[in-house]
């Protein structure tokens, strides 16, 4: 298992980095659409949709939604005069509301959950609210200031990846060593409050480094710390959210496409929450 995980990571990590760094904007939009489409196939499985044809139709619907947005909002109009396209802003705003609702669902689980737990349609709708905004967020960040500096958006994406990965690593080691108080045992028994705090502490170091590196105005550092901390907290919510849906579906992994890792969603679950929330905060207060 460990050997498979290492081999898969050694293959996928360079491909992802190269795509982020060097694909033109249109190619990058299509690349992320494919990733989201694969994730949608797995989400259908978590929604209780078992026939492969129906899962493929659902994945095609999500993928087509990304393509439609690519057509409706050309790359040069994603940002116009420093403002994000209104359609994209609206989608990110809806995503922020969805993750607030998701928090309530996790806190209430398994009580008060029958209205969505027993409905494939509602769970499938939750996938739309999760995956389409993820695509919008990543594309929005990557395209910001592209004409001035093609790599500025790259730094934003790597910033989110950095603080989320730092949080994951910190949460794992602190949770293993000091974890005593379960975060939500009905949803994910392995998550602890101590691990969450350890993850926040680890990510804070990345946030502080970024603020220093980019010479952020000292009067605005608190804003960067606040948004960074919120992003990390929401990333844990994304992890718990997927765990909740997998528990409802009675499955351990979202899929089997990544040997040793499970499915696409098993690797990007925390990012499906972190990217939309960070992008929305960035558009409102940092752009």
Give pLDDT, residue 235. Answer: 92
The per-residue pLDDT for range 196-232, each reduced to its tens digit, is: 888 888 888 888 777 776 767 777 788 888 898 899 9
Beta bridge partners of 188: 184
DSSP SS3 for 24: coil
Residue-averaged pLDDT of the chain? 89
Residues 44/45/47/52 CA torsion (nearest 10 deg): 60
User: Does the N-terminal peptide bond of residue 160 adopt cis geometry, omega within 30 degrees of 0?
Assistant: no
- Structural domain of 266: 2-286
d(CA 224, CA 230): 10
Contacts of 209 (CB under 8 A, 6+ apart): none
- Looking up tokens 């990733």 gives 35
Q: Is 74:152 a contact under the CB 8 Å cutoff?
A: no
d(CA 224, CA 210): 9
- Looking up tokens 């990846």 gives 161
Give pLDDT, residue 179. Answer: 78
The per-residue pLDDT for range 85-113, each reduced to its tens digit, is: 999 999 999 999 999 999 999 999 988 78
Q: From 263, 197, 257, select the one nearest 232 (Cα to Cα).
A: 197
- The helix (run of H) or strand (run of E) holding residue 36 is helix 25-46
**Three-class secondary structure assignment of 55-85:** HHHHHHHHHHHHHHHHHHCCHHHCEECCEEC
Q: Is the dihedral of CA 206, 210, 212, 218 positive or negative?
A: negative
- Long-range pairs for 193-196 at CB < 8 Å and ≥24 separation? 195/170, 195/171, 196/171, 196/233, 196/236
Indicate the number of domains in the chain: 1
Angle at which helix 264-281 crosses helix 152-178, to 10 degrees, equals 120
d(CA 230, CA 232): 5
The per-residue pLDDT for range 60-78, each reduced to its tens digit, is: 999 999 999 999 999 999 9
pTM of the model: 0.94
Q: What parts of the chain have a pLDDT lower than 50?
A: 2
Beta bridge partners of 184: 188
């Amino acid at each position: 298992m460990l050997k498979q995980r290492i081999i898969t990571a050694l293959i996928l990590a360079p491909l992802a980095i190269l795509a982020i760094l060097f694909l033109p904007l249109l190619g990058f939009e299509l690349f992320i659409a494919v990733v989201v489409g694969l994730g949608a196939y797995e989400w259908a499985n978590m929604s209780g949709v078992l026939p492969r044809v129906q899962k493929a139709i659902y994945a095609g619907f999500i993928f087509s939604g990304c393509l439609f947005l690519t057509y409706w909002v050309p790359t040069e109009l994603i940002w116009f005069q420093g403002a994000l396209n209104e359609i994209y802003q609206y989608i990110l705003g809806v995503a922020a509301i969805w993750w607030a609702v998701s928090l309530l669902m996790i806190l209430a689980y398994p009580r008060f959950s029958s209205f969505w737990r027993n409905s494939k349609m509602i769970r499938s709708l939750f996938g739309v609210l999760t995956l389409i905004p993820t695509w919008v967020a990543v594309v929005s960040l990557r395209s910001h200031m592209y004409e001035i500096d093609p790599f500025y958006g790259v730094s934003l994406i790597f910033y989110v990846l950095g603080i989320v990965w730092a949080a994951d690593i910190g949460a794992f080691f602190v949770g293993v060593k000091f974890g005593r108080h379960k975060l939500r045992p009905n949803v994910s028994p392995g998550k602890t409050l101590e691990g969450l705090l350890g993850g926040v502490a680890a990510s804070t170091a990345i946030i502080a480094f970024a603020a220093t590196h980019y010479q952020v105005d000292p009067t605005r550092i608190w804003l960067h710390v606040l948004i960074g901390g919120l992003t990390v907290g929401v990333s844990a919510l994304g992890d718990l959210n997927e765990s909740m849906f997998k528990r409802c579906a009675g499955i351990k992994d979202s899929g089997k496409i990544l040997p040793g890792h499970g499915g696409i969603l098993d690797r990007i679950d925390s990012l499906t929450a972190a990217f939309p929330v960070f992008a929305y905060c960035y558009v409102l207060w940092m752009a």
